[in-house]
């Protein structure tokens, strides 16, 4: 299933830190951009010739329709995505997808607790803008190595809803889960984004304190590195309910790759099990979930990510 691309122009660019660039994108036709909800991200065609696509969170106010704002960290182990974004200059053209969101604000929560680590501030900043505009109760904790490594400080540090935590700062301002997350509250939702180790620390602490897993919302920028490779496992067959087509999935292959190689019109984006674009429903068989995006409830309801997950049963039937 092809991505619908939007043409944009880099209208403004500045270095928020030595490693974080902020880009404002506008329509070349000077029209409003599509609406998005806080927590959304877009695919960015960083290099069209190489087919290099990366996902970046929208961090500007969701009610701002004239521009999209992205903030991109230059990764030390970049495979070309972040470095390509850092090379952009004002006036450059950039193709992006329509906004997508698997990390939205809970409509059931009365209070919202946002916990950001480093560049994880990007989707949570959009959430803070939305919550501020609606008058909702929220608190944002922004954790970073130092002030020099922190983006958006001028718009954050004087907001009474926001707490800043620096690793090299005084001991009294350090982030502490016991007090900054606190005991479970059935009316509060927690949102966590940042480096994997930081997220694991925060989520584990919340669960150990008694918070329900359903109250903790997360978005990862990279997949969890577990001991089981995504494509490891025995051979099985995928059956497509709508066409009757059957495809053998061997060890070392992903379901999505096999489907695309056979010209099946399947949705996809990140191909790592973290964006949710490829989610389909399992109609029969026993899935082997290896994603890091679906909740236990969604898995129980039959949701499945063919880009990273496999099957325990000989045949897996998908709603495709």
Tokens of 11: 């209208």
Neighbouring C-alpha atoms within 13 Å toward the C-beta of 294: 26
When pLDDT is averaged across residues 283-293 and rounded to a whole number, the result is 91
Fold of the domain spanning 5-97: Elongation Factor Tu (Ef-tu); domain 3 (2.40.30)
Higher pLDDT, 217 or 49: 217
Residues of the chain with CATH 3.10.20.30: 236-318
Interval 235-284: pLDDT, tens: 999 999 999 999 999 998 999 999 999 999 888 877 777 777 889 999 99
- What's the confidence (pLDDT) of residue 39? 97
- pLDDT(230) > 70: no
Query: Over the chain, what is the mean pLDDT?
Result: 92
CATH 3.40.50.80 placement within the chain: 111-219
Assign a CATH topology to domain 111-219: Rossmann fold (3.40.50)
Query: Smallest Cα–Cα separation from 274: which of 229, 224, 227?
Result: 224
The H-assigned helical ranges of the chain are 81-86, 121-134, 153-156, 177-180, 196-208, 255-261, 296-300
Alpha carbon distances (Å) from 228 to 56, 139, 218, 232, 272: 27, 36, 22, 7, 14
Residue with tokens 């039959």: 302
- Which residue's structure tokens are 């907001």? 159
A 10 A CB-CB count for 83 gives 13
- pLDDT, tens only, 105-115: 999 999 999 99
The predicted pLDDT at position 147 comes to: 96
The reported pLDDT for the residue numbered 221 is: 81
Give the tens place of pLDDT for each residue, 61-93: 999 999 999 999 998 766 678 999 999 999 999
Which of 23-37, 55-69, 116-130, 292-306 is least confident?
A: 292-306
Q: Distance of alpha carbon 222 from its chain centroid, rounded?
A: 9
Please, which pLDDT band fits residue 227 given cuts at 50, 70 and 90? very low
Second-level CATH architecture of 236-318: Roll (3.10)
The CATH 2.40.30.10 domain(s) of the chain lie at 5-97
Name residues whose C-beta falls within 8 Å of residue 184's C-beta, 6 or more positions apart in sequence: 209, 210, 211, 212, 215
């Amino acid at each position: 299933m092809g991505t619908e691309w939007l043409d944009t122009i880099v209208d403004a660019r500045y270095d928020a830190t030595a490693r974080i660039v902020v880009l404002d994108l506008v329509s070349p036709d000077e029209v409003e951009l599509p609406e998005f909800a806080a927590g959304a991200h877009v695919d960015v065609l960083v290099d069209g010739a190489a087919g290099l696509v990366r996902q970046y969170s929208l961090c500007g106010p969701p009610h701002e329709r004239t521009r999209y704002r992205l903030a991109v960290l230059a990764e030390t182990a970049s495979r070309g995505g972040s470095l390509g974004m850092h090379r952009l200059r004002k006036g450059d053209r950039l193709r992006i997808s329509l906004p997508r969101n698997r990390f939205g604000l809970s409509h059931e929560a009365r209070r919202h607790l946002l916990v950001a680590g480093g560049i994880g501030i990007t989707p949570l900043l959009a959430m803070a803008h939305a919550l501020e505009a609606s008058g909702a109760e929220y608190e944002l904790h922004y954790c970073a190595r130092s002030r020099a490594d922190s983006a958006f400080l001028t718009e954050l540090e004087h907001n009474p809803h926001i707490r800043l935590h620096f690793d090299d700062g005084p001991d009294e301002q350090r982030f502490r889960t016991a007090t900054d997350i606190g005991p479970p509250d059935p009316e509060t939702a927690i949102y966590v984004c940042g480096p994997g180790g930081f997220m694991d620390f925060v989520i584990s602490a919340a669960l150990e304190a008694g918070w329900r897993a359903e109250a903790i919302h997360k978005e990862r920028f990279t997949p969890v590195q577990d001991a089981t490779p995504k494509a490891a496992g025995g051979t099985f067959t995928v059956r497509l309910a709508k066409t009757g087509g059957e495809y053998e999935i061997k060890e070392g292959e992903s379901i999505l790759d096999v489907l695309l190689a056979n010209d099946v019109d399947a949705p996809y984006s990140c191909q790592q099990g973290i964006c949710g674009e490829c989610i389909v429903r399992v109609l029969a068989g026993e899935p082997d979930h290896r994603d890091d995006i679906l909740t236990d409830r969604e898995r129980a309801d039959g949701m499945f990510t063919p880009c990273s997950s496999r099957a325990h049963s000989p045949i897996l039937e998908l709603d495709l």
